[in-house]
Amino acid sequence: MWLPNAALRHSQFSIIVIVLALALGVISYLTMPRSEDPQFDLPITLVEAVYPGATPLDVETLVVDPIEQVVADLEDIKKIDTTIFNGGARIEVTFLYGTDPDEGYDDIRLALANIRNDLPQEAAFFIEKGSPTSVNILQFAVWSEPMDYKSVSVASEQLQKMLSRHPQVQKSERWGLPDQIVEVAVLPERLKQYGLSINQVSEALASRADNLTPGFVDASERRFNVNASGNYQNLEEVRNSIVFKGEHSPIKISDVAHVDYASDEPTYLAYFEGKPVVFVTVEQAAGGNIFELTDTLLAEVDQFKSSYQDQNIQVELIFNQSESVEQRVNGFFVNLAQGLVLVAVLSLLFLGARPSLLITVTVPLSFAIAIGLLDMSGFGLEQMSIVGLIIALGLLVDDAIVVTESVHRTAGQGLSTLEAAKEGASRVGMASAIGTFTTVFAFLPMLLLESSSGDFMRSMPVTVSLVLVVSLLLSLTLTPLMASKLMAKSAEPKWSLQRPINHFAMGTYSSLLHSTLKHKTPTMIVAILVMAGGMSLFPRVGLALFPKAEKPMVLVDVQAPPNTALHETNAITQDVADFVAQNKAVKSVALNIGNANPRIYYNEIPRRGQSNYAQILVLLEHYDADGVAELLTEWRQHFAQYSEAEITVKEFQQGPVTDPPITIRIVGNEIDDVQQVSRDLAHMLRTTEGVVNVRNSIGEPQVELDLNIQFDTLALTGVDVATFDQTLKTVLTGRDVGTLKDDKGDSYPVQVKGFSPSFSEIAQIDVASNEGNLIPLNQFVQPQLSNGHPEFFHYQKLRNSKVSGDVAAGHSVAALTAQAIAYLDNYAMPAGVHYEVGGEEESRSENFAGLSHIMLIAGLGIFALLVFQFRSIIQPVVIFASIPFAVAGAIAGLLLTGYSFSMMAFVGLISLFGIVVNNAIILVDTVNYNRRQNMPAEQAVVAASATRLTPITLTTLTTIVGLLPLTLFGGKLWAPLGWVIISGLSVSTISSLIVVPILAYLVIKGKAVKGSTV
C-alpha cells in the first residue's frame, strides 16, 4: 500500500504535517464555539397572544381564526398547532423542512402586521423563533429588601442594558416585573360629590398630555422650536390638572382621585427563595463561546452589585448553563483519560511496552486533529459533537491495533524494523481502510436525515467520521513511522499475554475450529437458534426514543381550576414550593406565577399570560438518576392527593420540541363531545400503570360574568354605547391617558382606573348621558354567572383537545401509547369526532421519515465497498453475517440491564455495525491472503482465524474497557449506548471467530486458489 511507504520514505515531511494538524486542533479547541445544544434553527415560529379578560371563544373568534387564516395562505406551511385559553393563545407554526427559518419568521411578522388593525387593540402579540439557539444561558434574580418594584425596575433595566451590549449576547430580557405606572385611581364617592364621570377625568388628563409639536418661530437670526402641551414631568402636574372649573374653585385630579407611582395589575409574578423578585435572562448569540461569555458577564454583574449596594439592590445567579456544558466537556475528557489508560494497559499486557505506546499515542492525536477539522466544518463543542467524540473513543483504536499487531507480527519474521513497518502496515492497510469507511457509511443515515432531529444530531456523525478517518490516516502513517524507530525485532515479549493467546490460538482454538468445520450444519443450527432467541427478546425491551436530559433541575407545573385569580394561584404555588423546598436534595426554587419560567432548555417553550397557571423551577444540589427518580415518585404521590390544583412534576428530556411522550388529539367541532371523550381517555390513562402526569387540556368550562347589557335602556336614557363600553373598560382594566417622563428620563404611563375591579366598584360608577346626566352604571346591566367554553386547541385549524401523559421509569412509551390507541379503537365515538396520535409516536414518524430508505442506501453503499475490495458478491455476505448476532447480543444486553431501546441505543447499534464488520473484513482478507499463498481451504481459514484471534480479542477488549467508564459512571443517558456496544460486541466476537470462518470456508471450498472472486 502506497501510504505507509510514502510516510516512511518522507518521514520528516510526515511529522511536520502531523504537528501542524495537531497545532490546528489545539488552537481550535481553545477558540471554537461552545454551547450546550447544537446551533441550528428550527423552522418553527411561535405567536403568543395575550388578550386579558377574553374568553376562549372570544380568543378563537377575534384572534386565532384571523391569524390562522392569514398564516395558512403562506407558502411551505407544514402545520399550525394552536392552544386557546382564557386570556390568550399560543400559535405554533411549523414550516416544511428546508425552509429558511429566518424567512419564515419574517413572513409571519409581515402577515401579522398586515392584519394588526383587524385584531383587538387591547391584545398584545409576541413573535419568537422556536430555535434551540433561543435559550437563555444565564438567569438572575433581582430584588430589594423590602421589595420596591420602582427601584428594582430602574436597577434591572440598567443590568439588562449592561448585559445586552456584548456582541456575543443575542438579547437580555426582564421577567416578572409589573409595569410601573402613574396610577390615577378614581374615588367613586368624590365623583358623585362633584357630579363628574370617570370619562371626564380621563379626557381631561388625555387632552393635557397630547404630545403635539406646534412647529417653530423665527426671531431675528434664530429659529426656536415651540414646546406646547405634552408629557407630564412629575406627579404634582398630574394631581393639579383641572377636571372642571366648578362654581367656586376648580376641581383638580387630586380632588377626585388618588395619584401615585404604582405597579400595574400584574399578570406575572416571580419569586426566588420566597422573595418577590424580577428575573433577568441572557441569551447567547450563535457561534459564541459560552465559557468566555459567562466569565465576562459574571464579572460585570459583580461590579454592578457593588455599585448598587448602597441602594439595597440584591442580585443572585439562579441558572448558569455553562456549568452543564463544562460538566459534559470535562466528563468526556475524564472518560477519555480513563479509557486511554485502560487501552494502554491492555495493549501493554498483550503486546508489550513499545507496541502499546504506538496504540496509545494515536488516540489523543486523533481527537486533537479531528477537533480542528470539526471546527473548520462549522461545528462547535456541544452535546451532540461530544457524543460523537465519546462514540469514537470505542472505535478509533481498531485501526491502530490492527496495524500495530501486523507490524509486531511481521517483525518476528526476520525483517528489519523498517521493512517490517512497511510490510505489516501495507498488508492490512487496504482492509483497514475499507473497514473504516464501512463504519463511516454506517453513520450515513444520521448524516443524511432530513428533519429537525437530523439537524440536531448532525454534528455527531460528522465528528465520528472525522475522528475515524484521522485515526486511519495516523495508523497508516505515524504508526508505521514510529514502529520503524521503536519496534523491537522480537515478536513476543516474554511477559506479554500474546504468547499464551497465540498458544491458545494455534492449539485449542485451531482444534475447535477444525472440529466445527467438520460439523458445520449442527454448529450453524445452534448459532442461528441463539441469534433468533436474542432477536425474539426485542418486544420485551421496549422503546423510548428520547432519554432523560439528566440535569439537576426539575419543573413543577401548577394548573389551578379555571377562573382562579392570580393571587389565589400564587397562594397555591407558594404552598407547593414550601413542600418542595423542604427536601434536602433541593438547592433552591424559583417561582413563576401566571407564566412559565424563562426558556433555559431547548425543547421547553414557556407559556404566557394564564392567571391559573404557575411553574416552579426546582434546582437540585446534584443529579443522581436513582435519587431523582425516587424524589419525583414521592412528590407525585403527594401531589396526587392535592385538591387545590393539578400538580405535574417532570424532568427535562432530550428530543425535539414536541408534546409529552404520550399524546392523543381528540378532534371534533362540538366541544361538548370532545370534552366527554377526553375525560374518558384521561381516566383510562390515570388508571394505567406506568403513565404519570396525565393532563386533559380541554379542562373544565370557564365560568363567566355575563353583564346582560340592556341596550334599550341605554338608548332611552341617551347613553352612547361607546361611552358605556369605555367607562366599563376604564373601571376594570384602566385607560392610558398620557406619559410622565421624570428628570432621570424614565417614562411611566399615566393610567386612569377604578379603585378596585369589584362588583361594588361597578355599582358605584356613573355613566354620563348625551345631555350630561349621570346615571349609575348598574342601571344598564343585569349581571349573572354562566358557563363559557373551556380551554381547547386547534390543529390544522380544526378544534381538538389533547390528552397527554409522561412515562414512568422502566416503562415503554410505545407499549403505553398502543394501549391508549386500543382503548380508543373500541370506544363509541360521537359523530364527527376522531382521534390522532401525537407525542413521541408522531415525532418519531416525522423526524425519522425516510430513515429506512437512507439505511438501505447506506447498506448498499457498504456492500458495494466490500464488493470492490474483495471482488466478490458472496464474501460481503459472509462479512455481514456477524451483524444479526451483534443485534441479538445488543437486545439481550438491554434487557439484562433494564434499558429501553432509545436514540442512544440506536447510535450504539450503528457504531456496533462498524466494529463487527471491521473485524470480519480483516479476517476474510487474511483468509484470501492465505489462499494466495497456496494454502488449502481449511488450512487457510484456520490459520487466518488463529492469526486474527489476538487483534480481534484485543480490539474487542479495548473497545469494551474504553466504554466501561462511560457506561458505568456516565449516567443513564450514555448507558444504553455502552451496553449495546459491549453486549453486541461480546456476542458478535464469538460469531466472528466461529460462524464467519465456517461461512468463509463454505465460500472458498472447491474454488481456485485465486478464490476471491465468486
For the chain, domains (ranges, CATH) are: 180-263+704-787 (3.30.2090.10), 352-486 (1.20.1640.10), 500-547+850-1007 (1.20.1640.10)
Over 60: is that where the pLDDT of 1008 sits?
no
The Cα 840–Cα 660 span in angstroms is 7
Q: For the full predicted model, state whether its pTM sits above 0.75.
A: yes
pLDDT at 758: 63
pLDDT at 545: 67
The Cα 466–Cα 647 span in angstroms is 47
In sequence order, what are the beta bridge partners of 320? 138
Pairing status of strand 747-753 against strand 180-186: parallel
903 contacts 475 by C-beta, under 8 angstroms: no
Instruction: Compute the CA torsion angle 220, 225, 228, 229 (nearest 10 deg).
Output: -170
pLDDT at 1013: 42
| pLDDT single digits (tens) 108-156 | 999 999 999 999 988 889 898 877 778 899 999 999 988 999 899 999 9
Q: Which set of grid coordinates corresponds to residue 51?
A: 388578550
pLDDT at 865: 84
Place of cell 390544522: 796
- Length of the chain in terms of residues written: 1014
| pLDDT single digits (tens) 273-303 | 999 999 999 999 877 788 999 999 999 999 9
The Cα 847–Cα 458 span in angstroms is 13
pLDDT at 488: 57
The Cα 436–Cα 223 span in angstroms is 81
Q: How many CA atoms lie within 13 A of 608 on its CB side?
A: 21
Task: Average the pLDDT over 167-190 and give the result.
Answer: 91
pLDDT at 110: 94
Q: Could you give phi then psi for residue 381, rounded to 5 degrees?
A: -90, 115
Chain-centre distance of CA 375, in angstroms?
22
pLDDT at 17: 93
- Which amino acid is located at 66 in the chain? P
The Cα 494–Cα 477 span in angstroms is 28
* Average pLDDT, rounded, for the chain: 85
Over 60: is that where the pLDDT of 316 sits?
yes
Task: Average the pLDDT over 963-974 and give the result.
Answer: 78
595 contacts 268 by C-beta, under 8 angstroms: yes
Percent with pLDDT over 70 in the chain: 93
Over 90: is that where the pLDDT of 590 sits?
yes
In sequence order, what are the beta bridge partners of 800? 667, 793
How many C-beta atoms lie closer than 10 Å to residue 219's C-beta? 8
Over 70: is that where the pLDDT of 950 sits?
yes
Over 90: is that where the pLDDT of 431 sits?
no
Rg for the chain, CA atoms, rounded: 36
Place of cell 407547593: 576
| pLDDT single digits (tens) 540-576 | 887 766 777 888 999 999 999 887 889 999 999 999 9
CA distances from 974 to 140, 546, 547, 941, 965 (A): 31, 12, 9, 38, 10
pLDDT at 296: 95
- Return the minimum-mean-pLDDT range out of 132-146, 681-695, 786-800: 786-800
CA distances from 584 to 69, 320, 552 (A): 51, 21, 13
- Going along 176-214, which residue ranges are E strands? 180-186
The Cα 732–Cα 729 span in angstroms is 5
Coil vs helix vs strand at 310: helix
Task: Average the pLDDT over 157-178 and give the result.
Answer: 93
- Which amino acid is located at 387 in the chain? V
pLDDT at 759: 62
pLDDT at 708: 83
pLDDT at 492: 53
- Return the minimum-mean-pLDDT range out of 705-714, 873-882, 989-998: 705-714
Over 60: is that where the pLDDT of 807 sits?
yes
| pLDDT single digits (tens) 84-98 | 888 889 999 999 988
660 contacts 625 by C-beta, under 8 angstroms: no
pLDDT at 6: 87
The Cα 504–Cα 492 span in angstroms is 14
Dihedral sign (CA 713, 716, 722, 724):
negative
| pLDDT single digits (tens) 331-390 | 777 777 787 788 788 878 877 777 788 888 888 899 999 999 999 998 888 878 887 887
Angle at 151 (CA atoms; ends 147, 156), nearest 5 degrees:
100
**Better pLDDT: 1010 or 229:** 229
Over 90: is that where the pLDDT of 161 sits?
yes
pLDDT at 271: 97
Q: Which of 43, 67, 63 is nearest to 129 (CA)?
A: 43
Contacts of 738 (CB under 8 A, 6+ apart): 205, 206, 208, 209, 210, 211, 231, 232, 749, 750
**Better pLDDT: 260 or 761:** 260
Contacts of 283 (CB under 8 A, 6+ apart): 134, 135, 136, 137, 169, 170, 171, 172, 173
Percent with pLDDT over 90 in the chain: 35
- SS3 for 635-657 is HHHHHCCCCCCEEEEEECECCCC
Q: Quickly state the pLDDT bin for 1012 (edges 50, 70, 90).
A: very low
| pLDDT single digits (tens) 812-870 | 788 899 999 999 999 999 999 999 998 877 877 766 666 667 777 777 888 888 888 88
DSSP 938-965: HHHHHHHHHHHHHHHHHHHHHHHHHHHH
pLDDT at 455: 81
Q: Which set of grid coordinates corresponds to residue 720?
A: 352612547
- Return the minimum-mean-pLDDT range out of 40-44, 156-160, 463-467, 628-632: 40-44
